[in-house]
């Protein structure tokens, strides 16, 4: 089995090279090209992880682990899974999107590669991030006031009977909090 590659954080100034010469394009050009659409489902999900990381004071110089069994570890050692949803999407919509979050049990990545182990929930705490803004003309995912956060423990998720949870069901289990209260909610929810 091959070891995992150690990923070091990039600055964005790294050049693309062809035939041992820089071609005038830098890594930050790729970043601008690929992740400027923060409303895109995949990018918004990663951005939600980053928002939660900033609320928890996770060192921003660390690199996101694409293949971890959960998304984040707080400085206190709390394992966190982050889920994201939005009423608004980048594409043309006839109506606002219905909100639901996927919470299926999974194998750990190393177990999945060997097809061994049992599906489980690997995080201690689950954070459901809702980009709650409903006006396409003024939506701004960078404005943390447009987000609402719901926090559930692993035990509360295990009691759910389905692989996804609707916003209506989520609101019966947890009170939404703003960004400024998120860290405290996560830390206290793990106890």
Dist CA 154 CA 121 (whole Å)? 7
For the segment 79-128, what is each residue's pLDDT rounded down to a tens digit?
Answer: 999 999 999 999 999 999 999 999 877 767 665 555 556 777 889 999 99
pLDDT at 69: 85
If residue 190 lies in a helix (H) or strand (E), which one and from where to where?
Answer: none
Within a domain: residue 165? yes
pLDDT band of 182, cuts 50, 70, 90: very high
Within a domain: residue 16? no
Residues β-bridged to residue 22: 17
Dist CA 61 CA 50 (whole Å)? 12
Q: How many domains does the chain have?
A: 1
For the segment 138-159, what is each residue's pLDDT rounded down to a tens digit?
Answer: 999 999 999 999 999 998 988 8
Give the burial string for 130-141 (b: 16+ CB within 10 Å, else e): bbbbeeeeebeb
pLDDT at 119: 72
Within a domain: residue 18? no
Residue 157 · residue 121 · CB < 8 Å: yes
Percentage of the chain exceeding pLDDT 90: 71
For 59, half-sphere exposure in the C-beta direction (CA atoms, 13 angstrom radius) is 6
- pTM for the full model? 0.90
Within a domain: residue 168? yes
Dist CA 90 CA 17 (whole Å)? 33
Within a domain: residue 12? no
Average of per-residue pLDDT values in the chain? 90
Within a domain: residue 163? yes
DSSP, collapsed to helix, strand or coil, labels residue 4 as coil
Structural domain range at position 143: 27-189
pLDDT at 158: 82
For the segment 9-19, what is each residue's pLDDT rounded down to a tens digit?
Answer: 999 999 999 99
Within a domain: residue 3? no
For the segment 29-56, what is each residue's pLDDT rounded down to a tens digit?
Answer: 999 999 999 999 999 999 999 999 999 9
pLDDT at 165: 92
Within a domain: residue 35? yes
Residue 149 · residue 182 · CB < 8 Å: yes
pLDDT at 139: 97
């Amino acid at each position: 089995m091959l070891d995992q590659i150690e990923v070091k954080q990039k600055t964005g100034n790294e050049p693309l090279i062809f035939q041992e010469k820089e071609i005038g394009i830098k890594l930050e050009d790729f970043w601008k090209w690929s992740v400027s659409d923060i409303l895109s489902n995949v990018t918004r999900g990663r951005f939600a992880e980053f928002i939660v990381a900033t609320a928890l004071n996770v060192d921003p110089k660390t690199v996101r682990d694409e293949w971890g069994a959960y998304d984040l570890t707080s400085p206190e050692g709390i394992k966190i899974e982050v889920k994201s949803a939005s009423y608004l999407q980048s594409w043309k919509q006839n109506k606002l999107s219905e909100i639901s979050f996927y919470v299926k049990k999974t194998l750990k990545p190393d177990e999945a590669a060997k097809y061994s182990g049992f599906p489980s929930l690997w995080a201690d705490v689950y954070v459901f991030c809702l980009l709650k803004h409903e006006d396409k003309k003024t939506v701004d995912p960078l404005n943390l006031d447009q987000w609402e956060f719901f926090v559930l423990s692993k035990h509360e998720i295990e009691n759910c009977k389905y692989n996804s949870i609707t916003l209506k069901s989520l609101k019966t289990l947890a009170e939404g909090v703003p960004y400024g209260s998120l860290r405290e909610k996560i830390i206290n929810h793990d106890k």
